[in-house]
Amino acid sequence: MSNLTADSLFQTINDQTAVLGVVGLGYVGLPLIDAYISAGFKAIGYDVDDAKADALNQGKSYIAHIAHEKIQSWLDKKSFEATTDMNRLSEADVILICVPTPLSDSRDPDLSYVEMTTESIAKTLRPGQMIVLESTTYPGTTKDILLPILEKSGLKAGEDFFLAYSPEREDPGNPDFTAGTIPKVVGGLEPNSLKLAQSFYEKAITAVVPVDSCEVAEACKILENTYRSVNIAMVNELKVLFQKLGIDIWEVIDAAKTKPFGFQAFYPGPGLGGHCIPIDPFYLSWVARKHEMPTKFIELAGEINTSMPLYVVHRLAEALNQAGKPIKGSRIGIFGVAYKKDVDDPRESPSFKLMELLGERGAELSYCDPHIPTLPKMRHFDVPELSSQEPTPEYLASLDCLLIATDHSVFDWNEIVPHSTLVVDTRNATQDLQIGQEKIHKA
């Protein structure tokens, strides 16, 4: 590198005196902080939520897979501090942006959090800083949105400061992968930015994959999640068809995945959840519309996946009907409201859509999810004020129908199903039960 500013930043990264700043202290930001503190760096966490900053500064975690003891160890080593003061962004040498990128009501990208964060960074931007966007977005965001805002500071990218994109990759609930063990794709605005970003990630990440541009890295993330969305939609559609044919989709998938090549198993469910798969493909659809090109696979997959909660409600209505009961007035307990097994993340969970649909039909709702003690306020769903119920024999017997929406490992179906009157299983959680199969309906 021939740039003196770049050389100076490279040296601080190389000797691990560079201070990491992470904006957005959620399911992406906190694991990254953990990876870098474990590698010997110091970090500052930035968030607009006072409650999050206060909790972290007291050694308390609000994410299940980041233990309280882990946060306290950061504080004990004086390696971490959380703040809501965005004027302190100048204290960080490398700033990772890990803020939400949701969809608007019209399914257009909502980059307001990214833009507000970048405006805050621009106000205190100084020579020798590197900014990396990790939030999922459409190709062109780093160059077309972040760059102009940052250069309003009067500093020039590639000379005074450096800019890159590296898509976040997380697999919550999977103990085999942590932020430090998942390969990172990195694209830089120009060569110095790429070299610096690659060097920085190599300090804490097992494998780093450099690509030619920010746009390639941005498109990589969209491809990963579109691939999953389309394949999940396919098995969801086959689930509906095979049910009409009297064929168990789960047994079909188990048989198909014995093929050692040319097949990867995807599984149906009550709908898509999480912060990526229900959202990211529509970023690509939005870009395609701007170029007057339809994205038929993406749109069709979205339609199929968003129709799954309604299909589940229809199956539940059929099951209740066989018992001589309507949905209206029936006591329905939803087991699992997190979007995924063994996580405490409710974002975009199909359980909330199920609650909306069942509530509209007059059901008396309750839920059980030890990972979600009380239902949080949701951006796109009208969520009732409920707290998680204990799966006692008395509670189970009081339900007209138990709906399995998320198959947490903590649920002992051998204990739950015998005390239940009727079970609708959207996750094949009860497949191996030796008793109570006559109570179970698959959806």
pLDDT of 275 above 70: no
Residue 224 in any domain: the answer is no
Residue 227 in any domain: the answer is no
Residue 219 in any domain: the answer is no
pLDDT of 2 above 60: no
pLDDT at 274: 61
- Interatomic CA distance for residues 109 and 369, integer angstroms: 31
Q: Are residue 26 and residue 145 in the same domain, yes or no?
A: yes
| Nearest partner of 23 among 41, 57, 49, 51, judged by Cα | 49
Residue 40 in any domain: the answer is yes
Which residue, 212, 238, 257, sits at the end of a domain? 212
Domain of residue 69: give its range. 4-212
Which residue, 187, 212, 237, sits at the end of a domain? 212
Q: Could you tell me whether strands 42-46 and 19-23 are parallel, antiparallel, or unpaired per DSSP bridges? A: parallel
Q: Are residue 292 and residue 144 in the same domain, yes or no?
A: no
Q: Which of 2-11, 25-34, 97-106, 185-194 has the highest mean pLDDT?
A: 185-194
Q: For residue 242, count other CB atoms closer than 10 A to its CB.
A: 17
Look at the chain and report how many structural domains it folds into: 2
Q: How many Å is the maximal CA-CA distance in the chain?
A: 78
Structure-derived torsion over alpha carbons of residues 139, 200, 30, 129, reported in degrees to the nearest 10? -80
pLDDT of 106 above 70: no
| pTM of the predicted structure, to 2 decimals | 0.89
pLDDT at 180: 82
Residue 303, amino acid: E
Of 183-192, 197-206, 289-298, give the lowest mean pLDDT range.
Answer: 289-298
- Interatomic CA distance for residues 48 and 84, integer angstroms: 5
CB 396 within 8 A of CB 420: yes
- Interatomic CA distance for residues 250 and 331, integer angstroms: 28
pLDDT at 174: 75
Mean pLDDT of the residues in the chain: 92
Residue 122 in any domain: the answer is yes
Split at pLDDT 50, 70, 90, the class of 104 is: confident
Residue 58 in any domain: the answer is yes
Residues contacting residue 304 through CB under 8 Å, at least 6 positions apart = 233, 236, 237
Split at pLDDT 50, 70, 90, the class of 290 is: confident
Taking the alpha carbons at both ends of the chain, their separation in whole angstroms is 58
Q: Are residue 72 and residue 191 in the same domain, yes or no?
A: yes
- Residue 401: in which H helix or E strand, if any? strand 401-404
Q: Are residue 93 and residue 198 in the same domain, yes or no?
A: yes
Split at pLDDT 50, 70, 90, the class of 376 is: confident
pLDDT of 300 above 90: no
pLDDT at 289: 80
Of 112-121, 212-221, 325-334, 380-389, give the lowest mean pLDDT range.
Answer: 380-389
Residue 169 in any domain: the answer is yes
CB 353 within 8 A of CB 365: no
Residue 223 in any domain: the answer is no
- Interatomic CA distance for residues 406 and 241, integer angstroms: 22
Q: Are residue 23 and residue 161 in the same domain, yes or no?
A: yes
Q: Are residue 126 and residue 173 in the same domain, yes or no?
A: yes
pLDDT at 383: 77
pLDDT of 107 above 90: no
* Rg of the chain taking only CA atoms, in angstroms: 24
Q: Are residue 205 and residue 277 in the same domain, yes or no?
A: no
pLDDT of 230 above 60: yes
Q: Are residue 44 and residue 167 in the same domain, yes or no?
A: yes
Split at pLDDT 50, 70, 90, the class of 415 is: very high
- Interatomic CA distance for residues 150 and 137, integer angstroms: 18
Mean pLDDT, residues 371-384: 82
Encoded tokens for 345: 């993340």
pLDDT at 276: 62
Q: Are residue 205 and residue 253 in the same domain, yes or no?
A: no
Q: Please, is 291 exposed, middle or buried when counting C-beta atoms within 10 Å of its C-beta (0-12, 13-18, 19+)?
A: exposed
Mean pLDDT, residues 75-87: 96
pLDDT in tens, 307-352: 999 999 999 999 999 999 999 999 999 999 999 999 998 888 999 9
Q: Are residue 207 and residue 296 in the same domain, yes or no?
A: no
Q: Are residue 199 and residue 265 in the same domain, yes or no?
A: no
Which has the higher per-residue pLDDT, 272 or 259? 259
Which residue, 212, 235, 265, sits at the end of a domain? 212
List the catalytic residue out of 214, 220, 276, 401.
276
Split at pLDDT 50, 70, 90, the class of 426 is: very high
Q: Could you tell me whether strands 94-97 and 80-83 are parallel, antiparallel, or unpaired per DSSP bridges? A: unpaired
Q: What is the CATH number of the domain that holds 413?
A: 3.40.50.720
Of 80-94, 284-298, 348-362, give the lowest mean pLDDT range.
Answer: 284-298
Quick check: is 276 catalytic?
yes
Q: Are residue 10 and residue 97 in the same domain, yes or no?
A: yes
pLDDT at 402: 98
C-alpha dihedral sign at 330, 333, 337, 340:
negative
Of 77-81, 140-144, 274-278, 331-335, give the lowest mean pLDDT range.
Answer: 274-278
pLDDT at 292: 82
- Interatomic CA distance for residues 43 and 94, integer angstroms: 9
- Interatomic CA distance for residues 209 and 183, integer angstroms: 7
- Interatomic CA distance for residues 372 and 275, integer angstroms: 17
CB 193 within 8 A of CB 158: yes
Residue 311, amino acid: Y
